[in-house]
Structure 1
Amino acid sequence: MKDKMDIEKLLQKVEQENLKNIVQSISIPRHGWYNYEALSSVAKFIEDRFREYCYIVEINEFSYNGKEYKNIIATLKGINSNKDWLLIGAHYDSAIGSPGADDNASGVAVMLEVARIIRESSLGENLKFVAFTLEEPQAFDLKFIIGSSQFVKKFKKLGHRYKALILESVGYYSDVKGSQKLPAFVKGPDKGDFLGVVGNGKSNALLELFEKAKTFVPSLNLITHKVSMNGWLSLETRFSDHAPFWDAGFQAVMLTDTAMFRNPYYHTSQDTPEKLNFSFMKDVTKALLAAVLIEQSY
């Protein structure tokens, strides 16, 4: 079991410059249909990073609208080595016309940095990192969260079980009063200076896990929020890759800066790296890493 000192030592390994470099490397328009080649190049970048960190990389490939797409899976011993997984995920495609720095290069960067550091611990055999594709609305039918829906359907049928931690836009920060809006039926601060961790009724244990994790990152304002009815009363709380896990009966939370409710550049050509707060992202990485280490220690 990792004690507090062990966890703190690993948190010190988080490198802000790594987060910045990853975001800058993949912040290019990479919509699944309009930027297919760019999306493929970003997929290769992610695969190469996982391999550099000594993970086994496997591909969950599927067809959509006549093209082949892939969810990228990284584990220590292969996807058939386990049935019960703690999954850390982030989508790597972007919205139409957007370089997607916050949405969602930021989430990919945090995921990769956690993968790098957790590899140095003695834990992680039941960890599965997944870079999802086709999360964003598609041009012809406006369907979204396609990659994660396909993934959950396939692996649930194979008997895999998940607790999922999904990163969705985690780089935009503002301490200006009035910078934070909120979805219907949700109460919270009016400053965009916090990380939201959103779960459903079945995900209490994961929300509690992040309450414990935030004690390791006192500089991060972390707010947990539980939705009822799997978020159907506040649809915006379902707009990412955690929703298919909720619908399949798995525990899942979304880590988010709240995207369109805070970031004025959301889904525009101006969602670029210089708009992000990398110190905030470093704290987000530490919080996620602490949560993983706490969960893995039991």
Structure 2
Amino acid sequence: MKNLVQLSLLTLAFWLVVTPNTVAQNQLPVLQNVKAVVDTVQRQVTITYDLTDDDETVVVSVQLANADGYRINLTDSQGDIGYQTSGKGKQIIGRYTDAAWLRKKGAIRLIANDRQKALVSDLLAAVDTNRIKQNTQLVYGMRDHETKAGIQHLAEVRKTVADQFRRGQFVTARAPFTWQKHTGENVVGTKEGLGEQPKTYVIGAHMDAAKGSPGGDDNATGVAGLLEVMHALSAYEFKHRIVVVGFDLEEIGFMGSQFFVKDALRRKETIGGMINYDMIGMYSERPKTQFIPPGFDGLFPEVAAMVAKDAYRGNFLICTANTSSEELGRTFRESARQHVPSLKVASLVALENGEMTPTLAASDHASFWKAGIQALHIGDGGETRNPKLNTPADNLDGLSYRFAGQTVQATLATLAQLAQMQHCAVATTEVSFSTPTN
């Protein structure tokens, strides 16, 4: 009996030590040495690959996609497709019925799904506050469209954003536009969804700053948060498309976001929701660091009472929706409550598109509201917490990278739900579907 007890205790000790590392986490499948050959005469595709995964079986599928993201599955597929085990030198042969929609060039996507539940906690654990700090410092500095120094550094920031999007394996485009005497340029990164008719979820932050201000909180923190969201998302796949955008010319009438929305509507893209980062770094546990503007208590009595009860501490995040975006706002707040419980979130709702409360529509999310698209402004309260905004004193002093990191985590949890995070691997190979001419 004594030996049995000792054995039971030993077994229990083994599981206490081993379980956190071997059971709690399930590694993503790994696809390597993926190659695709297209026979445009026979309209046949041959794919070879190596597969590694912890699970006994993985579901392997293939999609063909064109530059617009439209996709179909292969037909008459044979070989190592469907339920598969780990191994090298696997091969799939399949046919496609019509190449016209592919517009000559396209991509073949090989998907390995082990049917495990993707853990939001793993996604949130990828957030790095040191990287947020480093990127805030990189963006910080004059970024206006009128001075030589501002124009030069803004160009450097655009390049930094584009380079990081590319390193995160987001399909990256720089989208120039003009407005009056100004030439702006949005930086857009796209992570395609795996669904056959995916919606698009957008997260954006403006890269420019007001003339004469180095834009520490406004909006180096937002750009750094955007980049951190992108970094965390890069390791995972989603059913729906996710687009990350660095907007330009926000300080001059939200022109970058207006251009982006107009282009999306032209392409008939279905945007399921948008999250706008504008100032996410100012946080304080000191009393009287949160100002309540005149009339605010009449419009939002519950939030005003919450702030007063906590001695006017600026220690919470503000989630602003309009009437049509309340569902998106509830999703964000519930995601924060469930996955980042230490982050306090105050909710504001602007009637219609914020015409009666223009300060709640004073950033890029308003461009989406006006187009009838659900959008949120996620921020620290702007000038109600940081009186240095739009001045030379908007520096890095007083910024909380922990607060910015928690904001990013709440956003990631929201996107994981909305875009439907998948536990799978994807390998994309660009190919040509053009039939050679003699």
Judge same fold: TM > 0.5, yes or no.
yes
* Correspondence for 1:173: 283
Report how far residue 82 of structure 1 moved: 7.1
Report how far residue 154 of structure 1 moved: 2.3
Q: How does 1:182-221 map to 2 (within 5 A)?
A: 182-183=292-293, 184=296, 185-187=299-301, 188=303, 189=307, 190-214=312-336, 215-221=338-344
Q: Is the partner of 1:192 in helix, strand or coil?
A: coil
84, 88, 97: which one aligns with 2:212:
97
User: Is 2:142 the counterpart of 1:32?
Assistant: no
Deviations 1:88-134 (A, max 9, x none): 00000011111111101111111111111111112265001111000
Cα separation, partners in 2 of 1:33 and 1:174, compared to 1, 3 Å: same
Mapped to 1, the partners of 2:269 and 2:223 lie a distance apart of 23
User: Is 2:400 the counterpart of 1:285?
Assistant: no
- For 2:205, give the aligned amino acid: A
Q: Is the 8 A contact 1:206 1:251 kept in 2?
A: yes
Bigger share in strand: 2
Report how far residue 77 of structure 1 moved: 4.3
User: Is 2:352 the counterpart of 1:242?
Assistant: no
Q: Is the partner of 1:198 in helix, strand or coil?
A: strand
Deviations 1:15-58 (A, max 9, x none): 00000000001101101222212211110111111111111111
Mapped to 2, the partners of 1:205 and 1:231 lie a distance apart of 17
- For 1:265, give the aligned amino acid: K
Q: Is the partner of 1:273 in helix, strand or coil?
A: coil
Structure 2 segments unaligned to the other structure (5+ residues): 1-114, 422-438
Q: Is the partner of 1:226 in helix, strand or coil?
A: strand
Mapped to 2, the partners of 1:149 and 1:82 lie a distance apart of 25
- For 1:176, give the aligned amino acid: R
* Correspondence for 2:164: 49
Greater shift, 187-196 or 242-251, is seen at: 187-196
Q: How does 1:104-119 map to 2 (within 5 A)?
A: 104-119=219-234
Q: Is the 8 A contact 1:213 1:287 kept in 2?
A: yes
Cα separation, partners in 2 of 1:19 and 1:124, compared to 1, 3 Å: farther
- For 1:263, give the aligned amino acid: N
* Correspondence for 1:140: none
Report how far residue 83 of structure 1 moved: 7.0
* Correspondence for 2:254: 145
Report how far residue 208 of structure 1 moved: 1.4
More contact order relative to length (CA 8 Å, sep ≥ 6):
1
Cα separation, partners in 2 of 1:2 and 1:219, compared to 1, 3 Å: farther
Report the structure number with the largest CA radius of gyration.
2
Mapped to 2, the partners of 1:115 and 1:284 lie a distance apart of 14
Q: Is the partner of 2:228 in helix, strand or coil?
A: helix
User: Is 2:250 the counterpart of 1:135?
Assistant: yes
Number of aligned positions between the proteins: 289
208, 216, 232: which one aligns with 2:355:
232
Q: What's the RMSD between the two structures over aligned residues?
A: 2.0
Q: TM-score of the superposition, structure 1-length normalised? A: 0.91
Q: Is the 8 A contact 1:210 1:291 kept in 2?
A: yes
- Give percent identity, aligned residues only: 29
Report how far residue 84 of structure 1 moved: 2.9
Q: Is the partner of 2:281 in helix, strand or coil?
A: coil
Mapped to 2, the partners of 1:281 and 1:31 lie a distance apart of 24
Structure 1 segments unaligned to the other structure (5+ residues): 138-143
Mapped to 2, the partners of 1:230 and 1:2 lie a distance apart of 41
Q: TM-score of the superposition, structure 2-length normalised? A: 0.63
* Correspondence for 1:63: 178
- For 1:212, give the aligned amino acid: E
Bigger share in helix: 1
- For 1:13, give the aligned amino acid: A
Mapped to 1, the partners of 2:116 and 2:359 lie a distance apart of 36
Mapped to 2, the partners of 1:243 and 1:203 lie a distance apart of 11
* Correspondence for 1:141: none
Report how far residue 158 of structure 1 moved: 2.2
Cα separation, partners in 2 of 1:124 and 1:195, compared to 1, 3 Å: farther
